[in-house]
Amino acid sequence: MSDRDPLDALHQPLAPLAPDPAFAARLRHRIETALSGGDDQGGPMTTIETDDAATAVRRPSLSPYLAVADARAAVAWYVDVFAGVAGESVEMPDGRLGHAEIRIGDATLMLADEFPEMGLLAPTSRGGTTVSVVVDVADVDATTEAARAAGATVEREPADMPYGFRAAAVIDPFGHRWLVEAPLAGSAAAPAAAPGRPKPRNAHEITDEHEVYTEPGDIVYVTWQVPDEERTARFLGELLGWTFTGGSVEHGLQVQGPNLMGGLWGKGEGAPIDAKLMYHVADIGAAVAKVRELGGTATEPELMPYGWSADCADDQGMEFWLYTPAEG
């Protein structure tokens, strides 16, 4: 190269540029998941591939992503009025919330502060919203009243609609418009198969991938205790078409195929084979006391990543776990 090279003018020193905050938040989540997943996979011997698609967090095909003028206040408002559960949030260096998530029923509401430099403006800055979000709640009238009390404008009072829902329309203090709805009892829109939907307080997750709704008395989880979980996975996979992904314990595999929360736990050669159930109870402390009173045995409740759990056996020795959600 000669000393004087006109192309030297192309030199571009490092110039930091903040990416889309939603992208930054997603990537951080992926890194955290990847970093914490190192111990949890079945090890290098596993024959069952867990690809990105299988381990990605399950969520509906559409998720609302709102821009609001005060994201922190909005998170508090939506958690309060819609009985949501605040999830992760990402604070930007300038103090704005770049990303926040609120679990409402089986959906995730995402939101962030305004980023005018990226054209992301809240309805209050634009002079109104063009989008309404439909939210299913347990009690339309109660939610509407809670929203009104918390500063929302009720645009349409609760009323029974011909499409089988009771519905109201409210504009929240941040300018977003919500259609608050619940199926009318006995209508075709209230299938018995989805009774858990309006009960977000009972939502809990056994893993990041799966979510179920249960009530005290329900079976929450089935653990098949087997000598070799890989063999069982192959057998059941062939027989029933089930698929599995790495579980949260060593030699654990999570059932992915059927509409069932369950997993395999390889306990080594010669281990007794059984299926161990986990039951949801309202108060694990009281339930443990009850187990003992009935002649069974129970460990002290322990806080696990998925909630409180106690290892029990009944008065004949049949083993089971008790479970109570950590919150709610």
Count of residues engaged in binding other proteins, rule: CB under 8 A: 45
**Calpha distance 166→159 (Å, rounded):** 5
Considering only 50, 55, 108, 254, the residue that binds other proteins (CB under 8 A) is 108
Interatomic CA distance for residues 317 and 320, integer angstroms = 9
Listed in sequence order, the DSSP H helices in 89-228 are: 123-126, 140-149
Q: Out of 3, 4, 188, 259, which residue is the one contacting other proteins (CB under 8 A)?
A: 4
Name the one range near other proteins by CB under 8 A: 15-23, 174-182, 229-237, 256-264.
15-23
Residue 19 in the binding site for other proteins (CB under 8 A): yes
**Is the CB of residue 42 less than 8 Å from the CB of residue 234?**
no
Here's the x/- map for other proteins, 71-100, by CB under 8 A: it reads as: ----------------xx----x-------
Question: Among 149, 271, 282, 326, which residue sits at the site for other proteins (rule: CB under 8 A)?
Answer: 326
Where do we find the tokens 């106690």?
Answer: 310
Is residue 32 within the footprint of other proteins (CB under 8 A)?
A: yes
Separation CA 255–CA 233 (nearest Å): 9
Among 101, 113, 172, 230, binds other proteins (CB under 8 A): 101
Q: How far apart are CA 77 and CA 84, in angstroms?
A: 9
* The binder of other proteins chosen from 99, 103, 177, 251 (CB under 8 A): 103
Q: Would you call 256 helix, strand, or coil by DSSP? A: coil
Residue 58 makes contact with other proteins by CB under 8 A? no
Question: Which CB, 24 or 260, lies closer to other proteins?
Answer: 24
Name the segment binding other proteins (CB under 8 A); options: 126-134, 157-165, 178-186, 203-211.
203-211
The residue within the footprint of other proteins, chosen from 18, 48, 142, 184 (CB under 8 A), is 18
Residue 165 or residue 323: which is nearer to other proteins going by CB? 323
Binds other proteins by CB under 8 A, chosen from 70, 106, 145, 208 = 208
Closer residue to other proteins (CB): 37 or 196: 37
Identity of residue 195: P
Cα–Cα distance for residue pair 192/186, rounded to 1 Å: 9
| Cα 5 to Cα 287: distance, rounded to the nearest angstrom | 80
Please provide the DSSP assignment of 269-318 as one string.
TTPPPEEEEEEE-S-HHHHHHHHHHTT-EEPPPEEETTEEEEEEE-TT--
Give the orientation angle of helix 71-81 with respect to helix 140-149, to 10 degrees: 150
Which residues are near other proteins by CB under 8 A?
1-2, 4, 6-12, 14-20, 23-24, 27-28, 30-36, 38-40, 57, 87-88, 93, 101, 103, 108, 205, 207-208, 248, 305-306, 326
